[in-house]
C-alpha cells in the first residue's frame, strides 16, 4: 500500500490519487495565470499572496513548487506590463509590491525582466 504523493492518504497500489494529481497540476497552471491580472486589480498584494498560498495549500503544492510558479507568474506580469509600453510609476510600484509579497526583491524583478530579452 502506498501513500498518495500529494495528500498523503492511502492510495492503494498507486503512487497518487488521480484527483489529487489533477488538482495539483491545475493549481500550478492557475497560480501563474493570476499574475497579469494583478497589475490592474484593486486587490491588495497581501490578499493576492494569501489567495495564491491558499490555492497552493489546497492543491498540495510544496513551497519550492509555489516559488517556481510565482516566478513564472512574475515573468508573465512583467511581459504584460512591457506590452503596454507606457508603464506608469504606479504600475511599476505594483509589480514590486506583488513581488515583495512573495519575498522577491527588486533585484529579482530586474533579473526576471532582463531574462525576457
In a domain, 7, yes or no: no
In a domain, 13, yes or no: no
What pLDDT score does 37 carry? 92
What pLDDT score does 86 carry? 74
In a domain, 29, yes or no: yes
In a domain, 74, yes or no: yes
Q: What is the DSSP letter of 102?
A: T
In a domain, 9, yes or no: no
Cell of 85: 509600453
What pLDDT score does 116 carry? 72
**pTM, full prediction:** 0.88
Q: What is the mean pLDDT of each run of 10 residues along the chain (117 residues)?
A: 90 89 96 93 95 96 97 94 81 94 95 81
Q: What's the domain range around 37?
A: 19-115
Angstrom distances, CA of residue 15 to CA of 1, 9, 10, 19, 66 = 9, 10, 9, 12, 21
3-state secondary structure of 75: helix
In a domain, 37, yes or no: yes
Domain count, the chain: 1
What pLDDT score does 117 carry? 57
What pLDDT score does 16 carry? 86
Amino acid at each position: 500500500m502506498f501513500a498518495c504523493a500529494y495528500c498523503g492518504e492511502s492510495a492503494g497500489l498507486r503512487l497518487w490519487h488521480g484527483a489529487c494529481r489533477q488538482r495539483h497540476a491545475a493549481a500550478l497552471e492557475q497560480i501563474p495565470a493570476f499574475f497579469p491580472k494583478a497589475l490592474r486589480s484593486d486587490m491588495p498584494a497581501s490578499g493576492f499572496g494569501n489567495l495564491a498560498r491558499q490555492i497552493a495549500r489546497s492543491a498540495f503544492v510544496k513551497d519550492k513548487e509555489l516559488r517556481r510558479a510565482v516566478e513564472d507568474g512574475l515573468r508573465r506580469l512583467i511581459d504584460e506590463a512591457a506590452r503596454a509600453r507606457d508603464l506608469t510609476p504606479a504600475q511599476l510600484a505594483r509589480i514590486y509590491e506583488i513581488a515583495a509579497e512573495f519575498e522577491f526583491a527588486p533585484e529579482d524583478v530586474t533579473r526576471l525582466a532582463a531574462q525576457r530579452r
